[in-house]
């Protein structure tokens, strides 16, 4: 497996793999000079050298040239102070040429050998004249890169509806795919204005808890399924994952309906015990069990009224003759009230 080191070129950007080459003992936070397709660039170590699978290497690794010197850091600081002025020049030149584009960011190489101009546009833009003008004004090699609306928001930064700085501008290095199904699974409003960010796309934070919601819904009753509650059977009308409960519509007398909220039990820790559902289901099962017991007692009462029919059927006394013979040798115990034996039936 190849040995790689993770390098990022801005504080919040994608991490790229490079070969450590002859530079040893690289530690996170160190500044290094690496070889890229644009030439030599200053970057920062994100993680120390480690081995990765061959499948993670998409292209031949470029080397880490050397550790950054104090002069390299001074040059980079000087170029960073020129970026605001350069950005204004690029915007003015683009407007003068009538180009339908939005320049959002410029990046100088630490040694002033080149500059990268990032812009957003709805369609393809012929920027050859702009590149020629900027090269004459800035006296360096100019590279233009078109980015999407999410990258525009990342470069320009801002604050979201939560009141915090945008995730993509503060800590999120790469964008994850987001779909409207994630908002639906979390019971969020499907109005695009409610689930969209400053970039106009779906909020990146929709994917943060999606796996937790998907896992929680696996152990909860399905929507519109029938469920037993203490008030009787009903249909599931709403699922609240955060409260770990469901709202059940119970049909009452005189065609009245009642909404009942019931909690959902966690799956049993004992693997031998099946998942018995929610608390309301357990209460319903106990109620049904009580009804079954009452039915058995009623059957015994009928047997006492008809002794001929009761004698024809084998009762629990015949099955318990052997235990009674063994108990005869034991010391006598004080009399206790007799209880009617209750046969056990399998619940369906």
pLDDT in tens, 61-105: 999 999 999 999 999 999 999 999 999 999 999 999 999 999 999
Q: What is the pLDDT of residue 267?
A: 55
Q: What share of the chain is helix, strand, coil (3-state, %, to 5)?
A: 35, 25, 40
Please tell me the distance from the alpha carbon of residue 193 to that of residue 201, in angstroms, as a whole number. Answer: 10
Q: What is the pLDDT of residue 177?
A: 94
* The overall pTM is greater than 0.85: no
pLDDT in tens, 10-58: 989 999 999 998 888 899 999 999 999 888 999 999 999 999 998 888 8
Residue 284 has pLDDT above 70, yes or no: no
Mean pLDDT over 183-205 rounds to 92
Q: What is the pLDDT of residue 3?
A: 92
> Bigger pLDDT: 135 or 326?
135
Residue 150 has pLDDT above 90, yes or no: yes
Residue 223 has pLDDT above 90, yes or no: no
Domains of the chain: 3-68 (no CATH), 75-147 (3.30.300.20), 153-213 (no CATH), 219-307 (no CATH)
Mean pLDDT over 179-202 rounds to 92
Mean pLDDT over 281-298 rounds to 43
Mean pLDDT over 288-307 rounds to 42
Please tell me the distance from the alpha carbon of residue 218 to that of residue 267, in angstroms, as a whole number. Answer: 11
Residue 282 has pLDDT above 50, yes or no: no
Cβ atoms within 10 Å of 295's Cβ, excluding its own: 10
Residue bearing tokens 């970039």: 199
Question: For residue 43, what are the β-bridge partners?
Answer: 32
Q: What is the pLDDT of residue 286?
A: 47
CA-based nearest residue to 151, from 85, 197, 112: 197
Please tell me the distance from the alpha carbon of residue 112 to that of residue 78, in angstroms, as a whole number. Answer: 10
């Amino acid at each position: 497996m190849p040995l790689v080191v993770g390098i990022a070129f801005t504080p919040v950007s994608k991490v790229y793999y490079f070969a450590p080459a002859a530079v040893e003992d690289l530690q996170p936070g160190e500044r290094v000079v690496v070889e890229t397709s644009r030439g030599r660039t200053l970057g920062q170590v994100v993680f120390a050298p480690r081995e990765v699978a061959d499948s993670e290497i998409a292209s031949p690794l470029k080397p880490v040239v050397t550790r950054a010197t104090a002069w390299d850091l001074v040059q980079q600081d000087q170029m960073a102070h020129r970026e605001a002025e350069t950005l204004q020049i690029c915007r003015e030149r683009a407007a003068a040429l009538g180009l339908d584009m939005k320049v959002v960011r410029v990046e100088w190489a630490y040694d002033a050998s080149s500059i990268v101009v990032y812009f957003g546009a709805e369609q393809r833009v012929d920027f050859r004249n702009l590149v020629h003008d900027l090269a004459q004004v800035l006296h360096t090699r100019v590279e233009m890169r078109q980015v999407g609306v999410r990258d525009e928001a990342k470069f320009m930064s801002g604050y979201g509806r939560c009141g915090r700085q945008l995730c993509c501008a503060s800590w999120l290095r790469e964008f994850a795919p987001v779909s409207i199904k994630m908002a639906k699974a979390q019971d969020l409003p499907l109005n695009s204005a409610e689930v969209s960010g400053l970039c106009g796309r779906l909020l990146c934070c929709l994917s943060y808890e999606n796996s937790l919601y998907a896992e929680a819904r696996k152990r909860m009753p399905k929507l519109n399924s029938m469920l037993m509650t203490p008030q009787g059977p009903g249909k599931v009308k709403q699922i609240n994952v955060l409260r770990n409960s469901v709202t059940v519509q119970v049909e009452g007398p005189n065609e009245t309906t009642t909404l009942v909220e019931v909690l959902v039990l966690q799956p049993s820790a004992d693997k031998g015990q099946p998942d018995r559902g929610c608390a309301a289901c357990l209460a319903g099962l106990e109620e049904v069990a009580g009804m079954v017991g009452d039915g058995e007692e009623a059957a015994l009462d009928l047997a006492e009224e008809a002794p001929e029919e009761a004698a024809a059927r084998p009762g629990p006394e015949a099955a318990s003759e052997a235990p009674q013979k063994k108990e005869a040798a034991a010391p006598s115990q004080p009399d206790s009230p007799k209880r009617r034996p209750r046969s056990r039936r399998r619940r369906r």
